[in-house]
Amino acid sequence: MKKILIIEDDLLISSLVQFRLKKDGYDTVLVKDGNAGIIAIDTETLDLIITDVMIPFKNGIEIIHHARKTKPEVPIIVLSSLGEEEKIVLEAFNLGVSDFIPKPFNPNELAIRVKRILKS
């Protein structure tokens, strides 16, 4: 079973995403902040990371930096608001994230993208 790490501080969104991904048969790890995200990246065997940009303690960019250093093979999807700074989004892409899904988003669309990335 593929394991996906979800780093999102909004409990409602993270729970919905988790529910949707579990429905597709994925195993999920849910964390609410950057520090817990770093620990999860270091300790878990992951197939995909889904992260928000604006999260407590460490932002999404720091998470991506860390993931790229420690687990460069794990694809990353950034799930964030378009309202957030364009510079940050561009930086995320430059760091080699696999996809960017702007909020508001459709969880079904997210599930399709996850499926596509994990297949490739």
Partner 1 sequence: MKVKNAVALVSLLFLIIKTDIVLGQDEPVFADSVSFANFLKSQGKIPGLQFRLVDSSKVYILDSALNRSLQSGIVRDFATALRLKDSVLRSYEYDLEIQYLIYSDPNTFKATQEYVSNLLRNGDIEPTVAGDSNGKDLISLASRNKYSPFLKGTYAYFSEIKIFAVSLVILLFFIFAFSMILFMLIFKARRNQKEKLLVLYDEQIVAPLSEILFEKTLEELESLSDEELNGYFPAKQLKKPFYVQVLVERILALNKTMKGDFKLMLKALYKRLDLDKSSLKKLKSSKWDTVVTGLVEVNEMDLTEAIYAVKQHINSPNFYVRSQAVATILTLSDSVDLSFLRDQTFPLSRWQQMNYLRIIKFLHTTRELHIEMLFDSRNQSIRLFGYKLVRVIGRVDLLETLEEKSGSVTEEEKIEIIKTFEYLGVPAHTELINGSLKSENIALVSVAAKAAGAIGDATSAKIICELLNKAPEFRLKMVLLNSLQNLDAAVYNQFINESENPEVMRISMHLSDSLLQDV
**Binding site residues, partner 1, CB under 8 A:** 10-13, 15-16, 19-20, 23, 103-109
Minimum distance between the CB of residue 16 and partner 1, rounded to whole angstroms?
A: 5
CA distances from 23 to 20, 64, 108, 112 (A): 5, 26, 11, 12
| Closer by beta carbon to partner 1, 96 or else 102 | 102
| Closer by beta carbon to partner 1, 45 or else 108 | 108
Minimum distance between the CB of residue 70 and partner 1, rounded to whole angstroms?
A: 30
**Which helix (H) or strand (E) is 76 found in, with range?**
strand 76-81
